[in-house]
Amino acid sequence: MPVASFPVEVVSGARVVTAPEEIDITNAAGLRAALLEAAGPGSRTLVVDMARTQFCDSAGLHVLVRAHKRARAEGGELLLVICAAAVLRIFAVTGIDRLIPNFPDLDQALAPPAVPGFSPPGAAAAGPASAAAETVGSL
């Protein structure tokens, strides 16, 4: 498998990291490095565009949960764009879909909330989702 690159661009004031077709143990460290770099000073919203991603293993989940926790600790947020049913399923099975807000496309991820006080799905996670994320985070 060729080495994956993780392009970063700024869209509507948010830094967007584009993920490859597969995220697994062979490239999770590269994703982690790209997220750390993209989450630099002045960045409140970080989006991982997984629109092309068809597979994400536990190494990828671990990187995303850690990035979410880091963003929240620094007063920011991590948003995901997920299209593939298989990827959505692994996020649902692990409860991470309730921990990290995810959207079907980049426009929806970057759109401001339509209703004042509205939180995107997963923004206020508690209970089983947090426990599932802690389990993944400890892998």
Q: Would you say residue 2 lies in a domain?
A: no
Quote the pLDDT of residue 20. Answer: 96
Number of domains in the chain: 1
52, part of any domain: yes
In this structure, of 8-22, 78-92, 97-111, 112-126, the range with the lowest mean pLDDT score is 112-126
Beta-sheet pairing, 8-11 with 14-18? antiparallel
Residues 76-101, mean pLDDT to the nearest whole number: 97
In a domain, 130, yes or no: yes
Cα–Cα distance for residue pair 17/52, rounded to 1 Å? 12
What is the extent of the structural domain holding 40?
8-137
Give a yes or no: residue 60 inside a domain.
yes
Residue 127: which CATH number? 3.30.750.24
DSSP type of residue 54: -
Residues 7-17 have a mean pLDDT of: 94
**Helix, coil or strand: residue 90:** helix
pLDDT at 41: 80
**Is 3 inside a domain boundary?**
no
- pLDDT for residue 137: 47
The verdict on residue 14 lying in a domain is yes
Q: What is the pTM of this model?
A: 0.79
Neighbours of 13 (CB within 10 A): 10
Within a domain: 1: no
Candidate from 49-53, 84-88, 111-115, 130-134 with smallest mean pLDDT: 130-134
Q: What's the rounded Cα separation, in Å, for the pair 79 and 62?
A: 15
Task: Check residues 102 and 119 and name the one with the higher pLDDT.
Answer: 102
1: pLDDT confidence band, cut at 50, 70 and 90? very low
Tell me which residue has tokens 């004042």. Answer: 116
